[in-house]
Amino acid sequence: MSEAHQVFVALLDEGVECWRPVEAQHMVADQYLLSGPIADGEVWEFRPGETVRCRERTFQDGTTGLVAFARVQRDA
């Protein structure tokens, strides 16, 4: 099993840009499997159990982290 990483997922319906740190397992390349749970009242751009593509981002406070930016489509 791969080690856990922290990935930031955008919170929707917040009125301003907000990110939730989420535990995720590295799969391959830039792909991570998100864990949960989602806190009451939050709406995440991507849900626990989904595999997402991530890239590094510098936040307004100058810190950097991996952010989820696209859902990985599973083969049918």
Sequence-separated (6 or more) residues with CB below 8 Å from residue 42: 11, 20
Any alpha helices (H) in 11-69, and if so which ranges?
A: none
- pLDDT given for residue 15 in this prediction: 85
Closest CA to 44 of 34, 55, 59, 33: 34
**Residue 68 neighbours by CB distance under 10 Å:** 24
Identify whether the C-beta of residue 34 lies closer than 8 Å to the C-beta of residue 68: yes
Res 54: pLDDT: 98
pTM of the model: 0.90
Six token digits for residue 59:
């936040």
Read off the pLDDT of residues 52-66 as tens digits, 9 standing for 90 and up. Answer: 999 999 999 999 999
pLDDT digit string, tens, across residues 24-75: 999 999 999 999 899 899 999 999 999 999 999 999 999 999 999 999 987 6
